[in-house]
Amino acid sequence: MKVGLIYDPIYLEHDTGPHVENRHRLEQTVAVLEQSQLLPELVSLPPRAASMDELLLVHGQEYILRVESVCQKGGGWLDADTVTSSASYEAALYAAGGVLRGVDAIMAGEVNSAFGLVRPPGHHATYLRAMGFCLFNNIAIAARYALKNHGLQRILIADFDVHHGNGTQETFYSDPQVLYFSTHQYPFYPGTGAIDEIGHGAGRGMTVNCPLPAWCGDAEYLRLFNQVLVPVARRFQPELIMVSAGYDSHWADPIALMEVDVDGFAEMVTILSQLAQELCGGRLLFTLEGGYHVEALAYSIKATLEVLLGRPRTEEPLGKASGRRNPASVDSIVDAIKKVHGLS
């Protein structure tokens, strides 16, 4: 299996200072991949910059030009959570373009799967707004690009970030060609992602939200993957699976309240990989979203790549979740999701 890695030092130039979403996230990940000798097993996929036309697949021109202008003036805050520097616009172009490079490499058979080690992240960015550390919606742009340029009809986006991907949901809420599946802590930022948010018009039923209470861990996430994601994916029959890979549901993450550990992420990736093998020739593209404990993030990404490579898993130095608190029962949540989406 050929696995691609999308990375460039340009991503480090998105200078957010002491912000929780900072360059150390990628620096630590690259260091762990180098120490584990994984890098030689990966196919390097150097990114390119996304074009204006490609950004316009998802965002309004007024918004794009605003981001560019703020960065040209030295950077600043686009909202209460999202800060930029002078190089952030270029980094964001390469983040979006890097995921497009992954689409092209997978569709050309250059690699079977790929991981976009990119920043700034994207899944909160909407048509006209930066949100939640995100400038441009990398995965949404890539999905629209794949539909337009590679003749695809059906794409599955799975999002396991601890925060709901409101921007991605908004982009495809009325689109029958994109199935959006999300597991997320709820209620939590950004306040969207309720079970009854299922899509509109031709896209009705194509949004599958799995809101979870705090303190959920591997068992709860894997139950939703097996009992909801697997059957809806098989029903939809995607031609490409794309993943918003946020690792902020790790038990050590400083800004969330979940109990997932590295083995849990590895199991989720295993399910996604198996679905890709079964349904779409193994075509599977990950792009980095959240994850703010740099060591937990690095080893979770390492585990993701080990699964994609078919390599034996190694242990996480941080260990298992302590089980500090038990989550509320998710039985009623699972039952409600199944009922809304017609799953037995």
pLDDT per residue as tens digits for the range 314-336: 777 898 887 766 777 899 999 99
pLDDT value at residue 326: 72
pLDDT value at residue 315: 79
Least reliable range by pLDDT among 200-214, 218-232, 303-317, 329-343: 303-317
Q: Indicate which residue of 14, 124, 184, 341 is catalytic.
A: 124
Neighbours of 342 (CB within 10 A): 10
Can you tell me the mean pLDDT for 221-230?
A: 98
Reply yes or no on whether the pLDDT at 266 is more than 80: yes
175-203 pLDDT tens trace: 999 999 999 999 999 999 999 999 999 99
Contact between 117 and 301 under an 8 Å Cβ cutoff? The reply is yes
Alpha-carbon separation of residue 109 from 1, 15, 102, 282 (angstroms): 11, 35, 11, 10
Band (1; pLDDT cuts 50, 70, 90): confident
Reply yes or no on whether the pLDDT at 311 is more than 80: yes
pTM: 0.98
Counting residues of the chain whose pLDDT is more than 70, the rounded percentage is: 99
Least reliable range by pLDDT among 27-41, 86-100, 136-150, 324-338: 324-338
pLDDT value at residue 321: 84
212-222 pLDDT tens trace: 999 999 999 99
Can you tell me the mean pLDDT for 280-303?
A: 98
pLDDT value at residue 317: 86
pLDDT value at residue 146: 98
Amino acid at 225: F
Alpha-carbon separation of residue 40 from 34, 37, 107 (angstroms): 9, 7, 22
Reply yes or no on whether the pLDDT at 342 is more than 70: yes
**Mean pLDDT score of the chain, rounded to an integer?**
97
In DSSP notation, 3-61 reads EEEE--GGGGGS--TTSSS-THHHHHHHHHHHHTT-GGGSEE----PPPHHHHTTTS-H
Band (116; pLDDT cuts 50, 70, 90): very high
pLDDT value at residue 291: 98
C-alpha–C-alpha distance, residues 123 and 184, integer Å: 13
C-alpha–C-alpha distance, residues 137 and 96, integer Å: 7
pLDDT value at residue 77: 98
Q: Is 250 a catalytic residue?
A: no
Counting residues of the chain whose pLDDT is more than 90, the rounded percentage is: 94
Which DSSP letter does residue 329 get?
Answer: P
Q: Which fold has domain 3-340?
A: Arginase; Chain A (3.40.800)
Per-domain residue ranges for the chain? 3-340
Can you tell me the mean pLDDT for 301-308?
A: 98
